[in-house]
Amino acid sequence: MSDSLAEKLRVAWVADIVDEVSGVITDTEEMYELAQSRGFFWQPVTAYKKPIAPFHIFDPILPIPIGSFYKGTTFYVPDFLRVVQFFRKNRVNVLVSNTPGSMGMLAMAAAKYLSIPWVDIYHTDIDYYMNDLSNRIIKPFVKNPALFFLKQYQKQADLIFVRTREFYDLMLKKGHKENKLRYYPAGVNARHWNPVNSDKTIFAGHGIDPEMTIVIFVGRITKVKDIEYLLRYFTEEKPQKAVCAVIGGGPEKELYEKKYAGDNVKFLGVQRGAVLQKLYASADLYVLPSASETLGKTVLEAMASGTGVVVSDKGGPKDYVTHGENGMVFKAHDYDSFKAAMNSLLVDRNALQKLGENARASIGDHTDEKLFESFTGHIAELV
């Protein structure tokens, strides 16, 4: 990365925080650390109820609950003029919005006000979430206007970064111009998430026998992650000498824990840092049943940690999983397909080990360094 590029770009990375353990935050942290190590001015900003590193936090003046399609979450709106003043003071010359919520809209408006480029990153499968609205009465009145708004919002961007090939094609079908689209694949810190962190005894502290075959889920515990497939499998099939460890939190955690917790299903709560690194690297298999993951950052974290994965054939994670080599891909929304994939893997622990070794070896094209170099190269075209 040339010094001239670092001198040229002054980036404000704008994001909404709706959950303190999410791919958006992980992505922000990794890009910020890489920018800092290369001498860039690269400041994440948001509005939130408390400090979260590495974000500059603006006090919210208005909370907007959005639980109608993502339970227990809230967007926060800051004072627009304070945010603009911050951008001016720090001579920001590119705004990047990492979410399409209230902060994303603020980034769009601030870019117009300051006459600087605005870049949008399309993370979220809005179509899926709108279809998943639990209130069937309001859905017809919300879905089409929301999707229309999203398209008009994105059309204002100077560049749109799309996380998967599937979404790239979808954006073209929606009428977006190809010269504004850029492919922004997943990236993972392979130094941070690493098989050297393996320590099976980490599970003993959570009441799990380290000698068992341990299957983990990491992320927000919610219906839209289709986590019930995994919980149902362990509850109904009761695979021999295997246990499921659910890592994460969320408003539906207590509901699922009350229904499924038992000898072979353990809820470990939110884990971070070195502990989470050990849990990833010490597991035998990672499972993300979701059909709505635009990115699926946790899948790459597991793979980098030397753990094989199971994902659905919908969304982003399938882009970096080769069925039968570094993971398994099942048919989305098909429990029988999911069960068959799990059954085939849990009968052979040696095969799981080989799957994990292949997973680690396959992440070469998905490192955070390559992602950062590609991303900054593209946005530098705008300055």
Same domain? For 27 and 172 the reply is yes
Distance CA 141, CA 244 (A): 40
Same domain assignment for residues 34 and 64: yes
Q: Once rounded to an integer, what is the mean pLDDT over residues 220-240?
A: 94
Query: In the predicted model, what is the mean pLDDT of residues 232-241?
Result: 96
Structural contact between residues 198 and 282, judged by C-beta atoms closer than 8 angstroms: yes
Same structural domain, 156 and 265: no
Minimal CA–CA distance to 284: which of 383, 344, 212, 176?
Answer: 212
Mean pLDDT value across the chain: 89
- Looking at the structure, tell me whether residues 361 and 373 fall in a common domain: no
Q: What is the CATH number of the domain that holds 282?
A: 3.40.50.2000
Residues 141 and 99 in one domain: yes
Residue 233: is its pLDDT beyond 90? Answer: yes
Helix (H) or strand (E) segment spanning residue 352? helix 349-361
Taking the C-alpha atoms of residue 264 and residue 186, their distance in angstroms, rounded to an integer, is 32
Q: Please give the helix or strand (H or E) that residue 47 lies within, else none.
A: strand 41-47
Do residue 122 and residue 207 come from a single domain? no
Higher pLDDT, 198 or 165: 198
> Could you tell me if 79 and 165 lie in one domain?
yes
Amino acid, single-letter form, for residue 358: N
By residue range, what is the domain housing residue 241? 195-365
Mean pLDDT computed over 94-117: 94
Using 50, 70 and 90 to split pLDDT, how confident is the model at 341?
Answer: very high
Q: Are 251 and 355 in a shared domain?
A: yes
Would you say residue 251 has pLDDT above 90?
no
The answer to whether residues 250 and 222 touch, using CB atoms and an 8 Å cutoff, is: yes
216 and 272 inside one domain: yes
Taking only the tens place, the pLDDT of each residue in 22-79 is: 767 888 998 999 999 999 999 999 999 999 999 999 999 998 887 645 556 788 999 9
348 in the same domain as 227: yes
Residues 261-273 pLDDT 10s:
999 999 999 998 9
Mention every residue, 6+ apart, whose C-beta is less than 8 A from residue 317: 288, 293, 295, 296, 299, 309, 311
> pLDDT, tens digit, for every residue of 166-215?
788 888 988 889 999 998 887 889 999 999 999 999 999 999 999 999 99
Domain count of the fold of the chain: 2
From the list 283, 297, 279, 242, the residue with the least C-alpha distance to 264 is: 242
Contact status, residue 127 vs residue 147, Cβ threshold 8 Å: yes
81 and 39 assigned to the same domain: yes
Asked whether residue 157 falls in the same domain as residue 277, the answer is: no
